[in-house]
Amino acid sequence: MRPADIPAVRVEEIPADAVLLDVRENEEWAAGHIAGAVHVPMNEVPQRLSYDPGPITPEATVVVICKVGGRSAQVTAWLRQQGYQAVNLEGGMLAWDAAGRPMQADGGVPAEVI
């Protein structure tokens, strides 16, 4: 799947019932993430789906998120090859933050995208 063929969604177009899958690393997640998102670092996605997929099912609309959209595009392509209804968040967490959408951080500190 070529990068231009990977379906993407803008922040304001995310379906209300979508599962948000954040594939960033642990320190990125801790610094700032979307409340209610599922966190599975990119390299752990295949293993995680095999033993504990949680809400990430082939029937669900899965919006895949990283910092700018590169890693999430790769995961989106892989998920689609596996039969999932996955789309990439265009612009990633930087776009989410720029749109003024709420974020939270671990440890009670102000949230930021790193």
Around 20, how many Cα atoms within 13 Å sit in the side-chain half-sphere?
A: 22
Around 52, how many Cα atoms within 13 Å sit in the side-chain half-sphere?
A: 5
Verify whether residue 77 is a known catalytic residue.
Answer: no
Integer Cα distance of 52 and 104 in angstroms: 24
Cα-atom radius of gyration of the chain, to the nearest Å?
Answer: 13
Could you tell me how many residues make up the chain? 114
Catalytic residue (one of 21, 66, 79, 95): 66
Looking at the DSSP assignment, which residues form a beta bridge with residue 8? 88
Phi and psi, residue 40, nearest 5° = -140, 110
- Active centre residues (catalytic): 66
